[in-house]
Chains A and B, each alone.
Chain A
Amino acid sequence: QVQLVQSGAEVREPGASVEVSCKASGYSFTSYAIHWVRQAPGQGLEWVGRIVVGYGDTEYSQKFQGRVTITRDTSASTAYMVMSSLTSEDTAIYYCARNPVGTVTLDHWGQGTLVTVFS
């Protein structure tokens, strides 16, 4: 069965960077895209960016442009999201989700990773 397993919770100080990983199993990793979506406490879902795994092509929300980098390691079936220059407003649960390319369908989601930023 399709599974996306994310890395564990992280705590960072303002100005630091954080990397969250998303390990895929149960499907052909290179045939899909992986999107990253975040949810601040008590707030709604917010799109961060995506990578088309087979090509390595990335797109990012203009809000995070220059501050987020999404990569993948096809040999490890794992996608990564790095966010830098963190502030308290980046405190959120970060989800990865699988996406059939050419659709707006996030059909399987990781369990989420809580990133807490405080001094």
Chain B
Amino acid sequence: QSALTQPASVSGSPGQSITISCTGTNSDVGSYDLVSWYQQHPGKVPKLMIYGGTERPSGVSNRFSGSKSGNTASLTISGLQAEDEADYYCCSYVSSSNSLVFGGGTRLTVL
């Protein structure tokens, strides 16, 4: 199972919005609304930011939102803040192997 495709890096200025894409196939991202997104600061444990494609766990800022179109899921962060600078990973269920697959990760830089 190949990793989902994410851009290696994105950047934005404070207050701006950015979107990170996560492209898979109709066997994973395209099959179900079962994509989750994780934020990981350097040296820290990953943190759940979005689940079920669009849902936010309690405590996660509403500046974070998720969406999906076809085989591509997206994470949008609005009103960028310095603390948002981190690595972001998408994750999807893979129906053909009853497994999970992660994206390669995207490094977000807040300029």
Contacts and interface: CB of A to CB of B under 8 A. Distances in A.
Contact of A44 (B57, B99, B100, B102): B102
A45 B90 CA distance: 10
8 contacts: A35-B100, A44-B104, A46-B102, A47-B100, A61-B99, A104-B36, A104-B52, A105-B36
Given A47-B99, A104-B35, A106-B36, 7 more contacts: A45-B102, A47-B100, A50-B100, A59-B98, A95-B45, A104-B92, A104-B93
Task: Assign chain B's interface to a size class.
Answer: 20 to 34
Contacts of A45: 38, 40, 46, 89, 91, 102, 105
Interface of B: 1, 3, 34-36, 38, 40, 45-48, 51-52, 57, 87, 89, 91-93, 97-105
A61 B1 contact: yes
Given A62-B97, A95-B45, A104-B93, A47 B102 contact: yes
Interface in A99-119: 103-107, 109-112
Contact of A103 (B3, B52, B97): B52
Task: Assign chain A's interface to a size class.
Answer: 20 to 34
Contact of B103 (A44, A106, A107): A44
